Structures are given as structure tokens and as C-alpha cells.
């Protein structure tokens, strides 16, 4: 059984590494931080795609999975936790104004396969 994985918000690949260790095939990681590229590609041996998830479309995800015969296609991701932490809620008055909250909706949009 072949399970292909794409990691959204991959960073240097911590989540991808855990999945790879358990036998999953990592296809690619997507992140906005170009400084993560070397560590991700060296440790995971997957493609690093520098992109903002809010601009990633369903077509890119489909292209990355390609025409290979995957038993399962898995989309994983750990959105940046800063807007959700207790520290943020305790010390920032405008916690809800943090522009990273939308990242959860963007990830959900990709999971659902919406075109927009």
C-alpha cells in the first residue's frame, strides 16, 4: 500500500519527518519561509515549495499528487500556533485581529478541494 503525503506549513519538516519515519511517502512540503528549504529537502528528500497557503489552489495539490497510483493521498499541516497560544490571549488585546487566523480556513479549503 502506497500513501502519498503533502505537508502544508511544513517549516523544516518536523511533521513530515514523523510521517516519513512511519513509512509514508512524502511528496512535498509547502511553506512561505525560504530559509526552511535546505533543511526540508536534505532531511525529508521531498520537494519544498515556497508558497503562501492562501494562494495555493486545488490544481497545485492535484499536480503534486500526480498520476501515481496512491492507495491514499494525505494532506497534513500544522498552522503557525502563535494566534492560538495562551500567551497571545493573555498579553495581546487584539488577539482576534491576528492575520494568521485565516490560515486554518485556507487549510480547510485545500482539504475540501475547493477551487478558490
Using DSSP's 3-state secondary structure scheme, residue 73 falls into strand
Concerning whether 10 is annotated as a catalytic residue, the answer is: no
- Rounded Cα distance, 106 and 12, in Å: 20
Single out the residue of 1, 2, 11 nearest to residue 46, CA to CA. 11
Question: Cell 487584539 appears where?
Answer: 94
Using DSSP's 3-state secondary structure scheme, residue 64 falls into helix
Pair type for strands 47-50 and 3-8: unpaired
Catalytic position from the list 10, 36, 78, 81? 81
Catalytic residues: 81
Amino acid at each position: 500500500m502506497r500513501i502519498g503525503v503533502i505537508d502544508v506549513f511544513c517549516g523544516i519538516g518536523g511533521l513530515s519527518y514523523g510521517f516519513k519515519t512511519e513509512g509514508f511517502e512524502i511528496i512535498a512540503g509547502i511553506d512561505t519561509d525560504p530559509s526552511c528549504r535546505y533543511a526540508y529537502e536534505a532531511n525529508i528528500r521531498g520537494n519544498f515549495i515556497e508558497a503562501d497557503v492562501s494562494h495555493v489552489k486545488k490544481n497545485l495539490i492535484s499536480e503534486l499528487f500526480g498520476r501515481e497510483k496512491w492507495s491514499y493521498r494525505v494532506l497534513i499541516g500544522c498552522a503557525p500556533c502563535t494566534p492560538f497560544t495562551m500567551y497571545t490571549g493573555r498579553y495581546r488585546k487584539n488577539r482576534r485581529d491576528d492575520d494568521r487566523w485565516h490560515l486554518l480556513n485556507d487549510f480547510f479549503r485545500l482539504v475540501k478541494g475547493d477551487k478558490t
